[in-house]
Structure 1
Amino acid sequence: MAIYESEHTKFMREWLEKHPQELEEQKKGRALWWDKPQDLDSTARNAQSRVPVKPYYYDANH
């Protein structure tokens, strides 16, 4: 049984083999946008400061 692999996946695998320097750029971009250090105090403070939202925003009776 063959495992399906999309055209895009094949293209990216081949392209990264030909351009190995792009892996480092990819890691830098990920660190810039996604891999942020987590501060547990700030996270807890943000969770406690949330205001509850009504189930139906436009209902004036609740």
Structure 2
Amino acid sequence: MTREAGAQVAISFVDALQLTFGLIARHPASGSLRYAYELGLPDLRSMTVKAFPYVNMLSEPLLQGRSPR
């Protein structure tokens, strides 16, 4: 069964994603370390997309152009 949302939901998702990316750009060290501990990846951070059931995964060294440890 395929479920689709309307255009307004898609626009809201893109807006929420852009807000999340903006926060990450301003504060790359922010975000939860939960998955870093579980996966053994010390630089891994996660941040939810507000009002949607999605999580962004990021690595601070990669955002700064460095190789991860």
Instruction: State TM-score, norm by structure 1.
Output: 0.34
More helix per residue: 1
The TM-score normalised by the length of structure 2 is 0.31
Q: Which has the larger radius of gyration?
A: 1
| Bigger RCO of structures 1 and 2 (CA < 8 A, at least 6 apart) | 2
